[in-house]
Amino acid sequence: MPHTTVKSKNYSAFLRLDTRKYVDQYVVMIGGKVVRAGKDIERLLKEVRKVYPNKLPFVAKVPKRGVLVLFGV
């Protein structure tokens, strides 16, 4: 599966995600599903790479309430 399709699937799933329980945490997604979440990104990625060695994880930080995130494509 091309990386662009995987990225789109994970990004779309992230946009639909109920982020209330992940505030101020990193969310790691594979295949459109949250596989790990927490504040220590290095630990999270190490764990995910052990379980999913051939997968490209999607990582996003869920901001605190009231934070405006701007980005361009």
Is the pLDDT reported for residue 2 higher than 60?
no
Largest pairwise CA distance in the chain: 36
* Cα of 66 vs its chain's centroid, Å: 20
CB 36 within 8 A of CB 44: yes
Report the first-to-last Cα separation within the chain, whole angstroms.
22
Is the pLDDT reported for residue 7 higher than 70?
no
The pLDDT score that the predictor gives to residue 69 is 67
Whether the full predicted model's pTM is greater than 0.75, yes or no, is yes
Q: Distance between CA 62 and CA 26 in Å, rounded? A: 6
**Number of C-alpha atoms within 13 angstroms, CB side, residue 8?**
5
